[in-house]
Chain A
Amino acid sequence: MKYIKSIFTLALAIIWTYALHNSWGTLPPLGKLMSPFHGFWVNAEAPESGELSEENLQIPGLEKTVTVVYDEMGIPHVFAENDHDLYVAQGYLTAKDRLWQMEFQTHFAGGRISEIVGEKGMVSDQFQRRMGAVYGAEKSFEGMKEDPKATETLQAYSDGVNAYIESLTERNYPLEYKLLNYAPEKWTPIKSALFLKNMSFVLASGTDDLKMTNILRKYGKAVAEDLFPNYPFVESPIIPVGTPKDFKPVPIPESPSDFIGLGSAMKTPEKDPNIGSNNWAVSGNKTVSGLPILANDPHLTLSLPSIWYQMQLVAPGVNVYGSTMPGTPNVIVGFNKNVAWGVTNVGSDILDWYQVKFKDASKAEYWHDGKWKKTTMRIEKFNIKGKASFVDTIFFTHHGPVVYLSHEKPFKSNIPVGHALRWIAHEKSQELTTFYKLNRAANYADYTQALTYYSAPAQNFIFASNEGDIALWVNGKFPLKSYTQGKYLLDGTDPKADWTGFIPQSHNPHAKNPVRGFLSSANQSSVDPTYPYYMGWQYAPSERGRRINERLEAMSKITMDSLRGLQNDNFNIRARTLLPLLLAKLRSPAGGVYGQAVNELQRWNLQNAADSKGATIFENWVLLLHEAIWADDFSADENVPMNSPSMDRTIKMIQDEPQSAWWDNVKTKNKKESMDEIISGSFKASIDTLVKKHGPFGSEWVWYKHKQTGVRHLIPGMDALSRLNIPTGGGGTIVNATTTKTGPSWRMIVELSKEGRPKAHGVYPGGQSGNPGSAHYDDLIDTWAKGELRSLLYLEKPEDATGRLRKKIILSIKK
């Protein structure tokens, strides 16, 4: 009896402890996590005292001593005596603030999330790998290794990250490791390549070829080309119209034979269309200082920890400040003594699909150019937490990976089955070299030389120098295509459908010091139709670009502050055209909430301000109007996903085609709707939804409460570590492009100086530290939400007279 009691109580204690030592589903290991000696309590950091504190750290791999000073925002300014130590320090310091994020994002990129979260990460992991993420990273790593400087940089960065990882014990792991119950692994240089490749996923993996083919199959070529034109009706292209061409175009390849693919797939979620960015540079003759000012705000998914990490990197031959991306060395967007640069995404078509004809079920051979050719195979192994590992085979044609076989269900609705993927992200590349050289660029020639190494994701690189130059290169590797090649799914058996070469880099669209005195980009069409090469048919809507260009045209005596105003511009240029058209046709039920809404729209100043009710009504109406016009024709069957025509095309139809057959809702039998009915019906429906959502017309209808901008933690659903319901204005087609989940992820304005003392301001919606227990976790969000910027501290030496430094760390060699 006594034995039984002993064993029972001991078993109880052991079971209890075992239960608290492990995670159960989404429940974290409570014992480990809550222990004040081991768990999250250890991650709490006291705020800085305001006094300058000093610390000495020893890290292996350094050649000389490195001095680091942190300013009041927690931004490290790194002073090293050579490049090697500079990048060891960058890796170490970035990991110190952002280790979990660096590892999580590269795990995601490499299709390894199921190692952390188990089977539920599997479909996304398989998608990443089938799209060739790891294959592409390996290729790009090969390219990087051809530049000895890039190799050294990557290795030093990796050594720095590992030095930090090795300094950790379980109790001081970043919080997320404790929540998800796993441990960091060793960093390797290829992870930097994976991170960079993932930017192509984020920015350049959008593909409508399947949806366009489905339209082609249902409505025929004439309708597809009419509703989905290859150039917008209203546009203000990035390269100013009339910019002289300084190159002799190479011949364009012959068009492939006509082909109508099989099309079709299943329905699942897709990429957020609101990712886009703004940048511009104004030349000295438009500024008060007489020297160029450059501004950039790349729009990405807003996240905590932020995608960006600010740093100043100083060593002989380099003194650069800007935003880095945790996971890769160098500054990505920033400035040095002489130049400043920034980026926005290019919406060119660098991803095509080829319908594959396999010989038999073995998939060992496929038909191309009149003969059977051999496929190659790549084996991918998945280690799934709590499950047996899984081995997957990917088949490659000479185009690229067959992402899904004909019988498989795709992860996203826009991915065709039975097609091989040809994607620029699979090319060997040297992006690192570009950023290494940009960090050290002194003038326009250095900048253009740096750009020759860059392939993907293609960016509009804006540039300004203290020699007075402003420039913009639409830069990346662009396939040399016949007109509209790859707008629809391509025939994988037709050699004329292959990519046969690339647009020579020196022919990439570019402009320098234009007469108008400014250059800008906001993801709109790169060029006007006189550019000799075909780059793509679909870019971001023109609104942001048009508004920026119209403002910069009108502005003079420009200062950093007036450009800050432009970054935060909330003017709804679409409403300026569209609202009067709609109000003229509107037959609204009189009185009540409908009357109040019409009144509000008539009084609206067309600003998507945070507290605007007009913006809420207009944006919701446009959304429902677009759906009312097109959903019956283009979203009828969820197994046959299609694009809907753009707002540019829709506005054209409202203006010029009131009798168009598209106005009719084909779902209502025996009734033919007119344009006015659709406009009025969608207005009533949109007001009804607003009442349902926000109650009677009143203060709950203000734009920011409707829009619900949030900066969310990278772990989905982790609201406790997120900042939600942030009061900001803007919108997807507004210069201040802040939407529910996306927005300006880094705002920077730089004024260059002849003496090499640039002035700069910047902010991003987050904070330097990735630790939710640090005061620097989200301390910049309020500044960002208010549309303000912080002055950026650009130091010559690790001292500052203005008292902004808070912490000094001496990194010395660990023997």
Chain B
Amino acid sequence: MNNSLSFSYQVAIVLVMVVIGAISGLYLPWYTLGILFALLAYILRIPTGRAFALGLVSGFLLWAVSAFWIDGQHPSSLPERMAHLFPLGGSVVGLYIVTGVLGGLTGGLWAWAGANLRLNK
């Protein structure tokens, strides 16, 4: 397998993952994000060396940006309260990052798993 992918191809993969992740998020349970990323990695034959990173970036962007966007559309004290609960000292930016990291790790681990399943072919 070829581990060198063009930059624009990688951007395209991220875009596809983000869009599919967003659509599944609106209608399906949260963890379908991972399952779909695994499928994408498998179908798109994403190299194992890149799959984790691409899934991570996609998951991070999707969750962090969505959280940021929701907070902008529905400004409330809730994110700050949650940032005290976790505890992040009330830092809402910190909360965007934690949200992004959770989405990113979920996306990354599953994309990696998906890419690795193809190894057996």
Residues of A within 8 A of B (CB): 2-3, 5-6, 8-10, 12-13, 16-17, 20-21, 30-32, 34-47, 170, 175, 718-721, 772-775, 777
Q: What DSSP secondary structure best describes chain A's contact surface?
A: helix
| A45 & B25 in contact (Cβ 8 Å cutoff) | no
| B71 & A41 in contact (Cβ 8 Å cutoff) | yes
| B119 & A34 in contact (Cβ 8 Å cutoff) | no
**B116 in the interface, Cβ–Cβ < 8 Å?**
yes
**Residue numbers in A under 8 Å from B105 (CB-CB):** 16
Best-surrounded residue of A39, A41, A47, A175 (most CB of chain B within 10 A) = A41
Nearest-CB residue, chain A, relative to B28: A37
Tell me how far the C-beta of B56 lies from the nearest C-beta in chain A, rounded to whole angstroms: 12
| A45 & B74 in contact (Cβ 8 Å cutoff) | yes
Bound form: Cα–Cα A43–B22 in Å: 18
Partner pick for B76 among A17, A38, A720, A775, CB 8 A cutoff: A775
Bound form: Cα–Cα A42–B82 in Å: 13
Q: A45-B76, A175-B78 are in contact. List 8 more A-B contacts (CB 8 A).
A: A16-B109, A36-B70, A37-B26, A41-B79, A46-B75, A719-B84, A720-B84, A772-B78
Tell me how far the C-beta of A369 lies from the nearest C-beta in chain B, rounded to whole angstroms: 58
Bound form: Cα–Cα A3–B118 in Å: 10
**B47 in the interface, Cβ–Cβ < 8 Å?**
no
| A44 & B109 in contact (Cβ 8 Å cutoff) | no
**B14 in the interface, Cβ–Cβ < 8 Å?**
no
**Residue numbers in B under 8 Å from A45 (CB-CB):** 74, 76
Nearest-CB residue, chain B, relative to A35: B30
| B106 & A31 in contact (Cβ 8 Å cutoff) | yes
Tell me how far the C-beta of A43 lies from the nearest C-beta in chain B, rounded to whole angstroms: 6
**Residue numbers in A under 8 Å from B79 (CB-CB):** 41, 44
Residues of B within 8 A of A (CB): 22, 25-26, 29-31, 33-34, 38, 63, 66-67, 69-71, 73-79, 81-82, 84-85, 98-99, 102-103, 105-106, 109-110, 112-113, 116-117, 119-120
Could you list 24 A-B pairs, sorted by A, with CB under 8 Å? A9-B113, A10-B116, A13-B34, A13-B38, A13-B109, A13-B110, A13-B113, A20-B31, A31-B102, A34-B63, A34-B102, A35-B30, A35-B63, A36-B69, A38-B29, A41-B99, A44-B74, A44-B78, A46-B73, A46-B75, A46-B76, A772-B77, A773-B74, A773-B78
**Residue numbers in A under 8 Å from B82 (CB-CB):** 40, 720
Tell me how far the C-beta of B20 lies from the nearest C-beta in chain A, rounded to whole angstroms: 13
| A720 & B85 in contact (Cβ 8 Å cutoff) | yes
Best-surrounded residue of B63, B67, B81, B98 (most CB of chain A within 10 A) = B81
Nearest-CB residue, chain A, relative to B37: A13
| A12 & B76 in contact (Cβ 8 Å cutoff) | no
Bound form: Cα–Cα A50–B16 in Å: 39
Partner pick for B66 among A6, A36, A720, A772, CB 8 A cutoff: A36
Bound form: Cα–Cα A30–B30 in Å: 11
Shortest Cβ-Cβ A-B pairs, 10 listed = A37-B25, A773-B78, A36-B66, A720-B85, A720-B84, A44-B74, A35-B30, A13-B109, A9-B113, A44-B76
Tell me how far the C-beta of A589 lies from the nearest C-beta in chain B, rounded to whole angstroms: 43
| A20 & B106 in contact (Cβ 8 Å cutoff) | yes
Given contacts A6-B117, A36-B63, A38-B25, contact A13 B78 (CB under 8 A): no
**Residue numbers in B under 8 Å from A42 (CB-CB):** 70
| A10 & B113 in contact (Cβ 8 Å cutoff) | yes
Nearest-CB residue, chain B, relative to A10: B113
**Residue numbers in B under 8 Å from A6 (CB-CB):** 113, 116-117, 119-120
Bound form: Cα–Cα A20–B105 in Å: 11
| B106 & A41 in contact (Cβ 8 Å cutoff) | no
| A44 & B70 in contact (Cβ 8 Å cutoff) | yes
Bound form: Cα–Cα A45–B71 in Å: 9
Bound form: Cα–Cα A6–B38 in Å: 12
| B120 & A2 in contact (Cβ 8 Å cutoff) | yes
| B31 & A34 in contact (Cβ 8 Å cutoff) | no
Best-surrounded residue of B66, B84, B99, B120 (most CB of chain A within 10 A) = B99
Bound form: Cα–Cα A447–B92 in Å: 53
**Residue numbers in B under 8 Å from A16 (CB-CB):** 105-106, 109
**Residue numbers in A under 8 Å from B120 (CB-CB):** 2-3, 6
Tell me how far the C-beta of A431 lies from the nearest C-beta in chain B, rounded to whole angstroms: 36
| A13 & B66 in contact (Cβ 8 Å cutoff) | no
**Residue numbers in A under 8 Å from B110 (CB-CB):** 13, 17
